[in-house]
Structure 1
Amino acid sequence: MRPLPAWLPFEWIAATRFLREGRAQTLLIIVGVGVGVAVIVFMSALLTGLQSNIVKRTLSAQAHLVLLPPEEIARAQGAAHAALIQRQAQRLRSIDQWQAIRTRLENLPEIAAVSPVASGPAFAVRGDANKAITLYGILPEEYIQVIDLHNKIVAGELRTHAGEVVIGIELARELGASLGDKLRIKASSGATDTLTIVGLFDLGNKTANSRNVYVGLRSAQNLLDLIGGVSHIDLALRDMYGAEILAQRLAGETGLVADSWIKTNSQFFTALNSQRVSSNLIRFFIALSVAFGIASVLVVSVVQRAKEIGILRAMGASQGQILRTFLLQGGIVGLLGSFLGSLLAMGCLMVWRMLATNPDGTPMFMIEVPPALILVTAAGASLVGVLAALLPARRAAGLDPVVAIRG
């Protein structure tokens, strides 16, 4: 037998020898740990990719947070009907001093981008065709920081100079329009303007593609009778999941109505949270089953090697050394299992990418495995191995040498 290097600690020598002597058990538990780690990594990457894809599609035409003018105060209808409150007819209103509010918002660390928008109902007219639309007046260089509109252009370009308009592919189909055609926009105020179609977009949402129409901010202000004003301010946040907390804070500080994407899509957000909780529960029970597997194997190892442990104790090995030997076994099993599991997870993800494709052959959605996920999972598996080995290790360290040798 080849002698081991003298610099190796006793615990490492004993732990690796015990693992080699029980090769079948060791291999079985390493494979078990590997399968558990593979399931955790694969499921985490799959759910993260799925959630990112769903959120991306849901928010393709929606800001993380929108600031709106406060609702007009209702008024009583005469002294005799003081208790009867009539809500004023809703009309387009501008945010007071919106330039100062925009400057203030841009200085907040939670906010990544700010975009003022003038929007309202209108009609798109071409020949005999007449379609109800939502007109958006934007500053493109600011708006694309909130809504990824420039990457959604499928024909032409995102340009909103005077006399130019960008429409969705569904609206273009319904009106029989294409690039370079003229389109007449008629607002509810009665103002009209004839614009040239310079771009077509596809937001991945049929409703948005048939209703949203983008023009320059000044053009929309003139059409909607919002001279110099904006109807709302769109915000992109650095942490989109903190939108509701920030919305409540901004509403209190500015007096404006703050609608977050979480509030607007409350059922969708609840579904995301439920999915996240169920995923965490599955991961917990997988880790628990891995821990019980490691613990059971090491308990059997302690019983099988009771005489060897007794001899080691009689030769001078301390309780601490025996304890660390079995803890090290648990850590080694967890680390090797996590390495095997990471390889299995990468293989499963490669197969998934080949099988889960759209009819045109493109991936159904992107799945990425960040290195941090593998490192955290490997560290977690090693920690689970050490914790699972704690009870068998204490039992081994507590064996009386004489009793153990006698069997």
Structure 2
Amino acid sequence: MFWRVAFSIAASQLTHRRRQTVVSVLGVALGVGFFIGVSSIMSGSEKDFVDRLVNSAPHITVKDEFRDPAKQPVFIRFPKAAVKLENVKPREYLRGIKNYGEKVDELSQRPGYVAEAALTGQAIVRYANKDMSASLIGIDPEKEKLLTRVAEDMREGRLERLRTASDGIVIGSGMSTRLSLKLGDLASVVSPAGQVKRMKVVGIFHTGNLMLDYGQIYMLLKDAQVLLDKPFIANQLRIKVPDPNAAEGIAAALEARWGYRSESWQEVNRDILGLFIIRNAIMYSIVSAIMIVASFGIFNIISTVVLEKRRDIAILMSMGFREADIQYIFLMQGFIVGVLGMLMGWAIGWGILAILGQVEFTVPGMADRQGFVLDKSFQQWAIGGVFSLVAAIGAAWIPARKASQVHPVDIIRGAV
């Protein structure tokens, strides 16, 4: 078969210039290896961050506020007129989501949806002559287990104890340490309205996030309503949908229907998600530059072979080899270098991932020691392999085309 003959000729020409071949293969291998290492870190951290966003918080939060202020009647009456309105006093209205119970029931009836009403606010937790400010949230414990990961993050006690214990409260491990609060202790919780309640610690959670561990507390919705002096009021609807990627469209539909500001997890974290796109673009640009540099080595070795083997090429063509056959032989050389570089690059990438997997470091704002979150999926290895083959064959194409344009009669006669 012709491909065997082409492979034999291509391999013999590459082994004739072993040093250049080894350098070219190493260039491709390093590009592939570093691509696997860098892309695994980038992709792994991105997937871990998105997973934390999706699983640790509701997909959609409906708040008791409006995205845009209501238009004044004069601007509605004269939309194109040059009108100036001064000394407008904002209309006061009762905060809270109207008929939140009906809205929760309606959403809960949709297949795959989880919805709860919540009341958020600020409070001070006081124990043993020490005070700490905290963000409180009144919840339904059964639904909160499905909306967030707080039940999984419990170190002591259980989230469900909020329902069975009288005036129960769940605090973070940081607050527990700073205030010396233990499971079963009674702490005073003071609201901005001046309400004071003695509440029993029925659970302690630990997320590893200092902001949550030191500043978040949970209690029953009815207890939060009493403490904040907002009876029968909820200022948030917290929703989980079957497909997190569809949360943005669902949030827009809910806002258009009810008027309340509805924020999806994508909207809340849009700036951060946008940074991932920029970061990936930078990563692929750097790796592409490495592969382009490596391809110059392939271009150099094959161009040199073409110059040195012009008479051999002419003899092959006089023996019946067509232009396409000659081009195929030199493209085969690029392919061989690309495959060898890909295999060696995979080995280097595996070694890099093994080393990175052992690295640990401390991130400011996180209570636990962290490490690299690596994405070891086949996709990273496949993209690296495609990079190597495209770079190698692309670098071989110009000298291969030049080799196929040799005129055997002129070479043999010594005209050139």
TM-score, normalisation: structure 2: 0.79
* Residue 306 of structure 1, CA deviation: 1.6
CA 1:132/1:25 → structure 2, altered by over 3 Å: closer, same or farther? Answer: closer
* Residue 107 of structure 1, CA deviation: 5.2
What is residue 406 of structure 2 aligned with on the other side? 399
Q: Within 5 A, what are the aligned runs for 1:238-249?
A: 248=252
* Residue 181 of structure 1, CA deviation: 0.9
Query: CA offsets per residue over residues 242-299 of structure 1, 9 Å max, x none?
Result: 8767655653454221335565556655554443332222122123223333222222
1:283 corresponds, among 263, 281, 287, to 287
CA distance in 2, matches of 1:296, 1:238: 55
Amino acid in the other structure paired with 1:211 = G
CA distance in 2, matches of 1:330, 1:112: 54
1:21 corresponds, among 16, 19, 26, to 16
Instruction: Check whether the contact 1:57–1:204 (CA below 8 A) recurs between aligned residues.
Output: no
Q: Within 5 A, what are the aligned runs for 1:48-127?
A: 48-51=43-46, 63=58, 65-71=60-66, 83-87=86-90, 92-94=95-97, 96-97=99-100, 99-100=102-103, 103-104=106-107, 114-126=115-127
2:304 corresponds, among 295, 300, 306, to 300
Count residues in correspondence: 396
TM-score, normalisation: structure 1: 0.80
CA distance in 2, matches of 1:293, 1:234: 58
What is residue 78 of structure 2 aligned with on the other side? none
* Residue 319 of structure 1, CA deviation: 1.6
1:377 corresponds, among 384, 388, 391, to 384
Instruction: Check whether the contact 2:314–2:407 (CA below 8 A) recurs between aligned residues.
Output: yes
Instruction: Check whether the contact 2:141–2:163 (CA below 8 A) recurs between aligned residues.
Output: no
In structure 2, runs of 5+ residues without a counterpart are 73-83
Q: Within 5 A, what are the aligned runs for 1:344-359?
A: 344-357=348-361
CA distance in 1, matches of 2:114, 2:297: 50
Q: Within 5 A, what are the aligned runs for 1:219-298?
A: 219-224=223-228, 229-235=233-239, 248=252, 250-260=254-264, 264=268, 268-269=272-273, 271-298=275-302
Query: CA offsets per residue over residues 18-70 of structure 1, 9 Å max, x none?
Result: 33333332222111100111111111122334455666788996555422123
Amino acid in the other structure paired with 2:340 = L
Instruction: Check whether the contact 1:75–1:86 (CA below 8 A) recurs between aligned residues.
Output: no
Alignment root-mean-square deviation, CA: 3.8
* Residue 353 of structure 1, CA deviation: 3.2
Identity %: 22
What is residue 135 of structure 1 aligned with on the other side? 136
1:340 equivalent to 2:341? Answer no
What is residue 3 of structure 1 aligned with on the other side? none
What is residue 179 of structure 1 aligned with on the other side? 183
Instruction: Check whether the contact 2:306–2:399 (CA below 8 A) recurs between aligned residues.
Output: yes
CA 1:121/1:33 → structure 2, altered by over 3 Å: closer, same or farther? Answer: same
CA distance in 1, matches of 2:392, 2:271: 39
* Residue 344 of structure 1, CA deviation: 0.8
Instruction: Check whether the contact 1:60–1:203 (CA below 8 A) recurs between aligned residues.
Output: no
Instruction: Check whether the contact 1:94–1:226 (CA below 8 A) recurs between aligned residues.
Output: no
SS at match of 1:177: coil
CA distance in 2, matches of 1:139, 1:259: 20
Between 1:356-365 and 1:45-54, the stretch displaced more is 356-365
Amino acid in the other structure paired with 2:391 = V
CA distance in 2, matches of 1:222, 1:361: 36
1:161 corresponds, among 163, 176, 179, to 163
